């Protein structure tokens, strides 16, 4: 989904003070082998750092600047038992993934509200069409882990629960009560779970 590159590579200079659609390149003379390798996905993330029991470790242009202009990226996602990667979408990429450990219920919903899902075990793959809302739930006995790949250097993630109930500033209750056909008590309760 990203534009095609105009040269072999363009390792991102994340500190550049000017802004373009993406990142400017660091100079070729400063580019080293280290720029094209990334070990950030080798470690298990902390699934206790949020109420969902999962954690994304991102290998995108911001963590792995060598990906700049190359139109792809990967994530490691760790799941506690029962953990959920909550419904979310990636505005800039199609996602594919493979289960490395455990058992995951993977599902996505189309723009016509059709729901597709399957339980996957180790070695099995899934694909999430660009922009569609999807989730992964750990339905196995122990921990689970998946590796995902995207056709964007920075796919972005719109995480539905926090995108609606944990914004800065908060979305007015008159919007959320009407949208979900519930009272202020329900909306306030959900907001409070995310520190709102
Ligand atoms: C999984 O859905 C991911 O976004 O890595
Ligand atoms: Mn995703």
Is residue 196 very low, low, confident or very high in pLDDT (cuts 50, 70, 90)? low
pLDDT of residue 114 exceeding 70, the answer is yes
Residue 56 Cβ inside 6 Å of ligand 1? The answer reads yes
Q: Find the 134 Cα to ligand 1 centroid distance in Å.
A: 8
Residue 85 Cβ inside 6 Å of ligand 1? The answer reads yes
The token duo for 40 is 């950030």
Q: Is the ipTM of this complex over 0.85?
A: yes
User: Percentage of the chain surpassing pLDDT 70?
Assistant: 99
Return d(Cα 188, Cα 196) in angstroms, integer.
8
The predicted-structure confidence for 17-50, as pLDDT tens digits, reads as follows 777 888 999 999 999 999 999 999 999 999 999 9
* Whether 58 contacts 157, CB under 8 Å: no
Mean pLDDT of the chain: 96
Return d(Cα 112, Cα 114) in angstroms, integer.
6
Residue 73 Cβ inside 6 Å of ligand 1? The answer reads no
- Residue closest via CA to ligand 1's atom 1 equals 148
Residue 149 Cβ inside 6 Å of ligand 1? The answer reads no
Q: Determine the atom of ligand 1 nearest the C-alpha atom of 56.
A: 5
The predicted-structure confidence for 72-101, as pLDDT tens digits, reads as follows 999 999 999 999 999 999 999 999 999 999
pLDDT at 172: 98
Q: Find the 70 Cα to ligand 2 centroid distance in Å.
A: 19
User: Which residue among 63, 73, 75, 78 has the greatest number of ligand 1 atoms within 8 angstroms of its CB, and so is best to mutate?
Assistant: 75
Average pLDDT over every residue of 50-70? 97
Average pLDDT over every residue of 11-21? 86
pLDDT at 19: 76
pLDDT at 190: 97
């Amino acid at each position: 989904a990203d534009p095609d590159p105009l040269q072999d590579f363009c390792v991102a200079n994340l500190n550049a003070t000017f802004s373009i659609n993406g990142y400017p390149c660091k100079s070729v003379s400063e580019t080293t082998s280290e720029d094209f390798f990334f070990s950030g996905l080798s470690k298990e993330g902390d699934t206790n750092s949020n109420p969902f029991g999962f954690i994304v470790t991102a290998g995108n242009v911001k963590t792995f600047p060598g990906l700049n202009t190359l139109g792809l990226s990967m994530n490691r996602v760790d799941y506690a038992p029962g953990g959920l990667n909550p419904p979310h979408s990636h505005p800039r990429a199609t996602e594919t993934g493979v289960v490395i450990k455990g058992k995951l219920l993977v599902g996505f919903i189309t723009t016509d509200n059709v729901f597709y899902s399957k339980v996957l075990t180790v070695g099995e793959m899934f694909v999430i069409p660009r922009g569609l809302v999807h989730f992964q739930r750990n339905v196995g006995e122990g921990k689970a882990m998946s590796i995902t790949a995207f056709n964007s250097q920075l796919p972005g993630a719109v995480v539905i629960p926090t995108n609606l109930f944990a914004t800065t500033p908060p979305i007015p209750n008159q919007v959320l009560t009407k949208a979900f056909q519930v009272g202020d008590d329900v909306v306030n309760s959900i907001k409070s779970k995310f520190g709102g």
